[in-house]
Amino acid sequence: MSISVTVPLGDRSYPVLVGRGAVGRLGDMVPAGVERVLVVTQSGVPLDAAGVLRGAGLDVATVEIGNGEAAKSLASVEEILGRLSALGATRRDLVVGAGGGMVTDVAGFAASLWHRGIRVVHVATTLLAMVDAAIGGKTGVNLGHGKNLVGTFWQPSGVICDTAALDSLPPREVRCGHGEMAKYHFLTGDDLLGLPLEERIARCVAIKAEVVASDERESGRRAILNYGHTLAHALEIETGFAMAHGEAVAVGIAYAARLARRLGRIGEDRVGQHLRVLEEYGLDSGLPATSDPDHLVALMHGDKKALDGLTFVLDGPRGVEVVPGVDGAEARKALADMAVR
């Protein structure tokens, strides 16, 4: 049994299918008129998306891109575009991104460029891609100067989240997915902890879908999806990316709660709720012992969301929202409130 969630974007609305074995329904997501499919994937990614598509009578080619953020590059995009060219792909054809968030970001970007945009379907195989990266239409690659500096908004025609893929996911990748999952616990009043995995993933997708639908191109509210991310980005930089994104987000969520408490936006009980959720996922919410708080504050000032002073996404009486103009001294004090690991 799969759960279907719709990302409601008018005539660009699309389904997200969550469930064990959901990849078997990939053929149903192929838009009418498609003859050829290029599957973009990586070595080590489970689920035979290409096989399912062949079984549905399609002409399927596969391209494997490299692993890791270094391969999230314009060179990988060029490789995909080269394959589309060699296949003689037309505007009627389809790209399928099968993998984690890195693959779906790169595949989506390439699809948005080929003949000024052809359709793409994602088969998300990491927890992080299922609840976050594959949903919402942000695509992109890194440049030497920074992460995700080049990209497009390009919504997929459908997304598959087959939880069977998670059987082979390494524990650290699971932890990273949990870091992003944890943020959804605070974007609505729902208690997600009690839900079975498939339902919880589907709820996270539905929450993201609602936020994306309300502000597709991030002119405002969509930024709440960056809950916990201001400190997380600083920690990633400070640790030279030794701390993985999702691990840093977990610490960032604990910090956002402490800062909101300091600013009188939430009470101690709500801080406790944050720490409980992180603990429930087995996530470490303390600062690394090597962290330099003054340096972290300086790094947060450099965050791209900063307009005037420090901008955070914080919980409060109206729920989680973007809060500009936070005093750097308060931000520093909230770091001192943090546990150290």
Ligand X SMILES: NC(=O)c1ccc[n+]([C@@H]2O[C@H](COP(=O)([O-])OP(=O)(O)OC[C@H]3O[C@@H](n4cnc5c(N)ncnc54)[C@H](O)[C@@H]3O)[C@@H](O)[C@H]2O)c1
- Binding residues for ligand X, rule: CB under 6 A, are 42, 44-46, 67, 69, 72, 99-103, 105, 125-126, 128-129, 132-133, 136, 138, 148, 165, 168-169, 173, 176
Question: In the annotation, is 138 catalytic?
Answer: yes
Nearest-approach distance from CB 294 to ligand X, in angstroms:
27
Decide whether 3 or 244 has the Cβ nearer to ligand X. 244
> Among the options 222, 258, 262, 274, which is catalytic?
222
> Among the options 183, 229, 258, 261, which is catalytic?
229
Decide whether 93 or 99 has the Cβ nearer to ligand X. 99
Q: Which of 163, 205, 223 is nearest to 6 (CA)?
A: 205
Locus of tokens 């790094």: 299
- The span from the CA of 139 to the CA of 288, in Å, is 31
Residue type, position 273, single letter: Q
Asked if residues 205 and 131 have their Cβ atoms less than 8 Å apart, the reply is yes
- The span from the CA of 5 to the CA of 205, in Å, is 7
Nearest-approach distance from CB 255 to ligand X, in angstroms:
19
- The span from the CA of 252 to the CA of 156, in Å, is 29
Question: In the annotation, is 116 catalytic?
Answer: yes
- The span from the CA of 130 to the CA of 163, in Å, is 9
> Among the options 64, 210, 216, 218, which is catalytic?
218
Question: In the annotation, is 218 catalytic?
Answer: yes
Nearest-approach distance from CB 332 to ligand X, in angstroms:
28
**What are the angstrom distances between the C-alpha of 245 and each of 82, 250, 282, 315?**
31, 9, 16, 21
Question: In the annotation, is 261 catalytic?
Answer: no
According to DSSP, residue 303 is labeled S
Q: Using CA of residue 27, residue 33, residue 35, residue 39, what is the dihedral sign?
A: negative
Nearest-approach distance from CB 116 to ligand X, in angstroms:
20
For 242-258, letters b (16+ CB in 10 Å) and e give ebbbbbbbbbbbbbbbb
Question: In the annotation, is 145 catalytic?
Answer: no
Nearest-approach distance from CB 75 to ligand X, in angstroms:
15
> Among the options 119, 178, 185, 245, which is catalytic?
245
Question: In the annotation, is 122 catalytic?
Answer: no
Question: In the annotation, is 78 catalytic?
Answer: no
Question: In the annotation, is 92 catalytic?
Answer: no
Decide whether 167 or 308 has the Cβ nearer to ligand X. 167
Decide whether 62 or 148 has the Cβ nearer to ligand X. 148
- Counting DSSP H helices and E strands in the chain, the numbers are 11, 11
Decide whether 93 or 105 has the Cβ nearer to ligand X. 105
Which residues form the catalytic set?
Answer: 116, 138, 180, 208, 218, 222, 226, 229, 233, 245
